[in-house]
Amino acid sequence: MPRKAATPSTKDALLDEFQALVSDTEKLLQHSASLAGEQAEALRDDIRDSLGRARDTLHKAESGLREQGKVAVDATEDYVHKHPWQALGLSAAIGLVLGLLISRR
């Protein structure tokens, strides 16, 4: 039953892209009043590039999460097919514990 853990580098890359996006957006807001013509266009291009990188990173992270979810679902289905009584007992135990916790409130 292989497990695919979330890689810290993916999370770090996503965080770096959003920090760059925020930084570029703040730069645009600060300089938008004083910039005109070619400088404003260059700053807009930088913002578009940053948004594109952030969007690509989000799509990569999304596909990675989907793959991890698919692996987890497949592993769960395999376990339930191989051990139906254990899965039923585990589900009943979890339901009982959750029921007890909810009834305490």
In the block, tokens 């254990």 appear at: 86
Q: Name the CA radius of gyration of the chain, rounded.
A: 24
Q: Which residue has the higher pLDDT, 61 or 87?
A: 87
Residue 44's pLDDT is what? Answer: 74
Residue 31's pLDDT is what? Answer: 67
Kindly report, residue by residue over 30-61, the tens digit of the pLDDT.
666 566 677 777 877 777 787 777 778 778 88
pLDDT surpassing 90 at residue 24 = no
